[in-house]
Structure 1
Amino acid sequence: MLKTNHVLFFDSEEFENIIHHYLTQGKISLAKKAIKLGLEQHPDSTSLKLFRVEIYVFEDKLDEADSLLNELYELEPHNEEIYIQKANIFSKKDNHKKAIQALKKALELTDDVQDIYSLIGMEYLFMDKFEEAKYYFMKCMEEDYEDYSALYNMIYCFEFLDQFDEAIEYLNSFLNKNPYSEVAWHQLGKQYFALKEHEKALAAFEFAIISDDTFIGAYLEKGKVLEKLKRYEDALEAYSITLELDDITSFALLRIGHCYEKLNQNELAIQYYTKTVKEDPLLDKGWIAITKFYNKKRNYKKSLYYINKAINIDSENVVYWKLYAQLNFRLNFLEEAERGYKKVIELGNHELETWMVRGDILLKLGETEAAVYHFLQASEFYPENAEIEYRLAGLYFTLNETEKGKYHLKNGLCFNIEYAFILEELFPKVYKKRLIKNLLKSK
């Protein structure tokens, strides 16, 4: 009809199937055309009008959706789909309580309760009410034990509530009734892994594989457990199977590289780390693995070469910049190291060590005023820190700003007298001054 403009007659149910097909395919414009044609032939069809409501909600035309729903409610006050769409509108408006009320009304009117339980569970999740959400996802599982979406959501609630033992109890009970549910075995293994019960986790993942020997996730998790148990050759076998089952994943390549490194097969390790970053250049763990590999071998120049390549791909990755700074510092490239630590701070890493190392590099570079500004910034993040105060004291005395020097020295002595050696170590000329000796003796 769309292609030829010939008018053909379909009954309303056929239109519903066509519209549903287009919606599941994400072809919204074709769905809208089908709704329009359908309503031209069946102007009184509530089901077709409800599809129109669904499109309105999708397009955030919530007032139009609400208005049409009110008309439909007058005609069919006991149609559960009206309440489901009402809930959809409330949810879009972040009124999750009213959405739940509407869905509970829909529950009273329908025999098909599973989807509504799931929708109620999601509304409770939006409200961070994990106990209530968990209850409704469990109700979904009672209706259909293969509703894996509900299972994943329910386990998410258990995990958020730190109820690992309760999750294990539920999954074991579920598996007693459904012993070949590979997804449940997989989730059980993950709970045991979180509790560091590695042997039990391994058994669960093996049962998941027995239930479905093509379940890639179970092989990957099995590999992770075997690594924890230091069974690297067995882990290699598990990861290698995933490469045969489906497209190569960068995660599997990375873990294979790690296993070879642990087995001191360095050539194979670096071969797989290199494959990892070729497969997924945005996977930071791959670049970090290569960098750390050469770092351990004290091949700092090669390590630096790879971290530079990583930064060229993702210049906003704080871990890359930290490694860049550390490597340059080891190679005594102080200006590059200082630049690296500065970038680390700009990207939001405010660890005390980062502040200290960059400040001390500025000292070595003779950038006294820049070091003062830097440590003053650090003191905003770490007030009452003796290490910062002694450095500021030494810097101000170096600049002959005696009053400021005395102020920070007194602070340092007040916060922790044991760190006074910092003055002697970093500012030997200042430390020899009689004024400083007297201030230190007074304590």
Structure 2
Amino acid sequence: MDKNQLGIQYMQEGKWEEAAKIFNEAIEENNADPVAYINFGNVLAAVGEEEKAMKFYEKAIELDENAAAAYYSAGNLYFNQERFKEASNMFEKAMKIGLQTSDNYFMLAMSLIQLEQNRLALPYLQRCVELDENDAEARFQYGMLLAQQELIDQAIVQFEKCTELEPEHADAFYNLGVAYGLQDQEEKALAMFNKALEVQPGHPLASYVKKVIEQGEK
């Protein structure tokens, strides 16, 4: 096992000091290896040293302008700082130079959503769920965008898949209820609001809409 692999193993085990030490050794042994800088930056980001982490990502990009993982990691850092424009730029660069992963598509879409560019986000979430069919949160977010575009049938498919993958996703059940309500399927809608309340007792939106439906039936 090389030092980068060992360092990643330490990170997965939450051994941040050991990970930092081994990545530092990897850099000392080969200071032209962008991977070691990216990995060290990820350790720093994980322990809250965000400014230092960005310097390591920048160094990795300086060594290899096609280091897609460096752009992705920098994008995550910007996203966590709510610098969504810079984040979207980083994720887009990573995508253009070959990082075709569901995670990168998801984060690019989420950055665009924060920038209120929902139409632009839609194809990236579509690609995300194509690449990882079992990503419940991506299914939920994709469903939300489809519903906003009034593509209700397609949104229902995504919300249903989300609840299959994550049976405790109260918001997915709630939005399924809204979608069924828009199709005048009140019985199905009520069942979904009840399910949302079963998963999350006191879910404020589900409680309110359920009450409105029940009062309308009286």
State the TM-score, normalizing by the size of structure 1: 0.39
**2:10 is the alignment partner of 1:230:** no
Which blocks of at least 5 consecutive residues in structure 1 are unaligned? Answer: 1-186, 188-216, 439-443
Alignment partner, residue 73 of structure 2: 289
C-alpha distance after superposition, 1:247-287 (max 9, x if no partner)? x2222222343466558482x64343133245456655322
Distance across 1 between alignment mates of 2:41 and 2:30: 13
Written as runs of structure 1 = structure 2, the 5 A alignment for 1:59-74 is none
SS of match in other structure, 1:362:
helix
Structure with max Cα Rg: 1
Q: 1:298 aligns with which of 65, 82, 96?
A: 82
Q: 2:205 aligns with which of 425, 435, 438?
A: 425
Q: 2:39 aligns with which of 255, 258, 277?
A: 255
Decide whether the 8 Å contact of 2:177 with 2:192 is kept in 1. no
Decide whether the 8 Å contact of 1:393 with 1:408 is kept in 2. yes
SS of match in other structure, 1:433:
helix
Distance across 2 between alignment mates of 1:389 and 1:336: 26
Written as runs of structure 1 = structure 2, the 5 A alignment for 1:358-437 is 358-378=142-162, 388-400=172-184, 402=185, 405-410=186-191, 413=194, 417-419=198-200, 425=205, 432-434=212-214
**2:24 is the alignment partner of 1:243:** no
Distance across 2 between alignment mates of 1:413 and 1:426: 8
**2:100 is the alignment partner of 1:319:** no
Give, in angstroms, the shift of residue 345 of structure 1.
Answer: 0.7
Give, in angstroms, the shift of residue 292 of structure 1.
Answer: 1.8
C-alpha distance after superposition, 1:18-43 (max 9, x if no partner)? xxxxxxxxxxxxxxxxxxxxxxxxxx
Aligned residue pairs, count: 215
Give, in angstroms, the shift of residue 305 of structure 1.
Answer: 0.7
Identical columns (%) = 14
**Distance change in 2, residues 1:233/1:432 (3 Å):** closer
SS of match in other structure, 1:230:
helix
Give, in angstroms, the shift of residue 235 of structure 1.
Answer: 5.2
**Distance change in 2, residues 1:305/1:406 (3 Å):** same
**Distance change in 2, residues 1:385/1:371 (3 Å):** same
Which blocks of at least 5 consecutive residues in structure 2 are unaligned? Answer: none
SS of match in other structure, 1:287:
helix
SS of match in other structure, 1:350:
coil
Per chain length, whose mean CA-contact separation is higher, i.e. which structure has more relative contact order (CA < 8 Å, sep 6+)?
A: 2
Q: Give 1:230's aligned amino acid.
A: E
Q: Give 1:375's aligned amino acid.
A: F
